[in-house]
Chains A and B, each alone.
Chain A
Amino acid sequence: MILSRASSLYRWNIDRTLAPLLLLAGLLCTAILLLIVLFLSKEAWPVLANGGWRAFIADNGWYPREGLFGLLPMLAASLVVMLGAITLAAPVGLGCAIFLQFYSPPVLRRGFRLLLSLLAGMPSVVLGLWGLTVLVPLVARWQPPGTSLLTAILVLAMMIVPTMALAGAAALSLVPAEMISGAAALGMGPRSRILYVAVPAARRGMLSGVLLSMARALGETMVLLMVAGNVVQYPHGLLEPVRALTANIALEMAYATDLHRAGLFASGLLLTLLVLVLAGFAARSLRYG
């Protein structure tokens, strides 16, 4: 920051008015977060009060009209879909990152980057539409109904691959060139240089990319709503339909009232908490490794 004395040429000292005004804007942005927490808690309070949250774990099944709020099956579905998508997308993302950084001819590099950012910017509702009209019928030919854990994992993996690839490439580009040429001088081939020198050196950035993708996958609504089948049950087969927490909110908000509505807001709070923990770990891994 540079502290300069105000110009004496102006009669009206605008600088003195500007700083508080700008600070006010910053505080307003912080107030939004407080409002979000406040209103989520306020709406969820009827369920959270008096230990009602225990129903989330104890109740057998999600039948809000009968007062049963067991959301463990949906939580399990959310987590399984996320882990499946990460397991599929992580190796491919790593491969793309290595391709961008070490293997791609300069002509292809720009184009491939563009392609990744196009895929990253693809609206999730469009990917969901594609999954629903193309992928689901393909899976259904094999085993109906087609809307299943598997389709959700596949579409979600497509959605997060570019994030991982771009984060991975950024992390790899920060590895000092001397380190890699040093490895070459020791007689290591390109494969060992990349796998045993560059990738371990870039692991922090890569881990942070993976954690951020996990957060994104967990918070994703449209894809899961459109291709996962929305049947509330524990995921016990790749071809079984499941319902994720996010999809549940989108499905039931339209008609939920009273306790039911409160239950949905509470599940929103839970979701936020999970995502924030992941994002927090991502920031930490960047800072401390």
Chain B
Amino acid sequence: MAERLFTWTIWLSAALVAAALVWVIGDLVRLGMAHLSLDFLLSVPRDAGRSGGIGPILVSTVLIIGVTLAVALPLGLMAAVWLAEFTTRGNALGNAIRLSLDVMAGVPSIVFGLFGNAFFSIYLGMGFSILSGGLTLACMVLPVFIRTSEMGLAAVSDAWRHGASALGMTRSAAIWHILLPAASPAIGAGIMLGIGRATAETAALIFTSGYVDRMPESLLDSGRSLAVHIYDLSMNVTGGDAAAHAAALVLIALIVVFNLLAQWLTDRWLHRRLIA
């Protein structure tokens, strides 16, 4: 009897979580699907977003993520390579950098928003702009990206490093042609995590990239990201619910597409470098 009860409880808790997800997605589709169309994706928002579309907002979102990746990818990859390939176990400097990254990973996103506002927007004079929003998000995603990539690199078997140096490759060449491609699944996972966080982020962007829903003309223009748009429609615009749900569907789709894209790119990179 106790056994059966336990089995039921376990199945019930799994069913509960599945039901919750179905409930959420179902409601989003039910409330937002009617509003969704090609026109919605392309046109400019009218009447504070109640009608019209999300064209400029999509552009701002992509630009913000572009800035984030353009900064976080090279910087993060370089730091990860240094941590994985150029430190010995117990290296004090390496451990200090790791610790600071772990601390940074724990900082709440709203605090990154405060920092971005004080540093990028005001101190560096970028104002409310796509640039300061993207840079704030870059600071936010760096720690996760670095630690994931570092673990991927550390997991590559030492035999490959021995082989490379036996062939007389410079360490730079070994890193570029062998170690990075071998670690690319982990690096891809890190990119995926970073993009997912950056796309979903709202709190860090409200006071850095701002609210303006016009088409951005440069990176120094304020641009409203999709997540901020959803927040604004649901909290500050009465009658904006249908548009908010449609935007939420687009946001979820965007995250899924980014994930698939990163997966495909890393697969391709791995294939070309190692097998061909």
Contact = CB atoms under 8 A, between A and B. Distances in A.
A50 interface: no
A15 B86 contact: no
B152 to A, nearest CB: 16
Nearest to A134: B27
A47 interface: no
A184 interface: no
Nearest to A28: B75
A92 interface: yes
Contact of B169 (A1, A7, A21, A118): A7
B214 interface: no
Interface in B159-201: 161-162, 164-165, 168-172, 175, 196, 199-201
A198 to B, nearest CB: 12
Contacts, number: 262
Contact of B170 (A2, A10, A132, A218): A10
B207 A253 contact: yes
B114 A268 contact: yes
Contacts of A190: 3, 6-7
B78 A32 contact: no
Contact size range, B: 35 or more
Contacts of B202: 123-125, 221-222
A38 B123 CA distance: 12
B13 A23 contact: no
B264 interface: no
Contacts of B196: 121
A36 B13 contact: no
A26 B147 CA distance: 12
A151 interface: no
B61 to A, nearest CB: 12
B17 A40 contact: no
Interface residues of A, number: 90
Contacts of A100: 14
Interface string B38-50: 0000000000000
Contact of A275 (B85, B108, B248): B108
Interface string B219-251: 000000001001100110000010011001001
Interface string A124-139: 1111111011100000
Contacts of B16: 92
B111 interface: yes
B168 A9 contact: yes
A219 B110 contact: yes
B81 interface: yes
A9 B139 CA distance: 40
The residue in A162, A246, A254 that gathers the most chain B C-beta atoms within 10 A of its C-beta is: A246
Given A29-B101, A129-B230, A39 B123 contact: yes
A253 B87 CA distance: 42
B235 A272 contact: no
B111 A271 contact: yes
Contacts of B13: 91-92, 94-96, 99
A35 B101 contact: no
A96 B200 CA distance: 25
Contact of B234 (A43, A92, A102, A133): A133
B142 interface: yes
A112 B107 contact: no
A122 to B, nearest CB: 7
Nearest to B30: A134
A60 B188 CA distance: 51
B79 A29 contact: yes
Contact of B171 (A15, A119, A194, A220): A15
Contacts of B105: 279
Interface in A50-95: 91-92, 94-95
Nearest to B160: A2
Contacts of B74: 25
B9 A95 contact: yes
A40 B117 CA distance: 10
B110 A250 contact: yes
A25 B200 contact: no
Nearest to A27: B97
Interface of B: 2-3, 6-7, 9-14, 16-18, 20-21, 23-24, 27-28, 31, 74-76, 78-79, 81-83, 85-88, 93-94, 96-97, 100-115, 117-119, 123, 139, 142-143, 146, 158, 161-162, 164-165, 168-172, 175, 196, 199-203, 206-207, 227, 230-231, 234-235, 241, 244-245, 248, 251-252, 255, 259
13 contacts: A1-B88, A7-B169, A25-B75, A26-B79, A40-B114, A103-B7, A116-B17, A125-B227, A126-B230, A130-B24, A133-B244, A222-B231, A271-B108
The 5 closest A-B pairs by CB, nearest first: A95-B13, A219-B108, A123-B200, A4-B165, A25-B78
Given A18-B175, A21-B78, A190-B3, 16 more contacts: A7-B170, A15-B172, A22-B86, A26-B83, A95-B14, A123-B248, A123-B251, A126-B24, A132-B234, A134-B27, A161-B17, A190-B7, A191-B3, A246-B110, A250-B203, A271-B111
